[in-house]
Amino acid sequence: MKTRMWINLLGLALLLLTFPALHTMRTAVHSERVFHNSRVSPIIFIPGSSASQDRFDDLFQTFNHPKSKHSILKITVDTKNQIHHQGVIAARDRQPLIVIAFQNNHDGYTNIAHQTQWLQTAMNYLTNKYNFNNFYAIGHSNGGLNWTWYLEKYFNSNNLTVNALMTIGTPYNSLESNFKNQTAIFRQLYQHRQKLPHNMIVYSIAGTTNYENDGIVPYQSVEAAKYIFQKQVRKYTQITVTGHESNHSSLLANPEVARLIQSNILDSNLNNPNIKKP
């Protein structure tokens, strides 16, 4: 009888192991998940004004040709701060392409301010859901303004690393061709430029069809980026593309721009500051 009591006691003790075991397992899985996902480094695109989440479809096709290498996730934040998503990130994709678009995609200072807030919502959603800790940012036109503003105002470099920012035809001084006429958006970005992440690499691509502008955005407005980024970030490079497909809205179809993204962003894992070389 005494033996039986011991069996029952021991059995109970073994069953009770379930709870500390579960607790430890949860912790272990959590840290493994964080470790796993820190290897994911998405490339996040923001379209310019009046463009939807499908703005980059053609560009993505060139990246995924001839072999589909990157999964695509599209997100639109509506005016009520709600997130609508389309597409999935494949489990083992380390470089997914993500588009963040806004239902209110209009131009203008207040609209851009709102969009930047919505961008913050989208970024929180993405980092919580996919646990990545570093990413690449690409913005076309006003998308570049959203990124810059976000990086200055909302971005927390303790939780997240932005490896590189590439803006394509972004009007840093709105549509002003004379730099002496500083616009509200430029002043906003210039004032807080010291809050930019210092380890970031920035590329600003300008397109010109003549000697002055790309049909919409004046060359001087794109060039104004130097006052914001130079001496603030690790590297600031400005690139000008001309010739066929160099006007403002066709810049994304320009094979040279695609090549610049490919070589500076997609293939730049070797330059990833997160991967420290021994």
Decide whether 37 or 232 has the Cβ nearer to another protein: 37
Our finding on whether 33 is near another protein (CB under 8 A) is: yes
Output DSSP code: residue 265.
Answer: I
Decide whether 27 or 263 has the Cβ nearer to another protein: 27
Q: For the CB of residue 70, give the shortest distance to another protein in the complex, in Å.
A: 15
Interaction with another protein in 63-92: which residues (CB under 8 A)?
Answer: 89, 91-92
Q: For the CB of residue 160, give the shortest distance to another protein in the complex, in Å.
A: 17
Continuous segment of H or E residues that includes residue 161: strand 161-168
Q: What angle separates helix 18-37 from helix 2-16, to the nearest 10 degrees? A: 20
Find, among 105, 101, 112, 117, the residue nearest to 184 by Cα: 112
Decide whether 16 or 184 has the Cβ nearer to another protein: 16
Find, among 123, 104, 121, the residue nearest to 45 by Cα: 123
Q: For the CB of residue 77, give the shortest distance to another protein in the complex, in Å.
A: 22
Our finding on whether 25 is near another protein (CB under 8 A) is: yes
Interaction with another protein in 112-171: which residues (CB under 8 A)?
Answer: 129-131
| Binding residue (CB under 8 A) for another protein from 20, 110, 194, 270 | 20
Judging by DSSP bridges, how do beta strands 134-140 and 201-208 pair with one another? Answer: unpaired
Q: For the CB of residue 4, give the shortest distance to another protein in the complex, in Å.
A: 5
Which contacts of 82-87 are long-range, i.e. CB under 8 A and separated by 24 or more positions?
A: 83/121, 83/122, 83/125, 86/53
Edge-to-edge strand list for the sheet holding 235-242: 83-86, 72-77, 97-102, 43-46, 134-140, 161-168, 201-208, 235-242
Our finding on whether 10 is near another protein (CB under 8 A) is: yes
Instruction: Count residues binding another protein (CB under 8 A).
Output: 29
The full 3-state SS of 56-77, as one line of letters, equals CHHHHHHHCCCCCCCCEEEEEE
Q: Which parts of this chain interact with another protein (CB under 8 A)?
A: 3-4, 6-7, 10-11, 14, 17-18, 20-26, 28-29, 32-33, 36-37, 40, 89, 91-92, 129-131
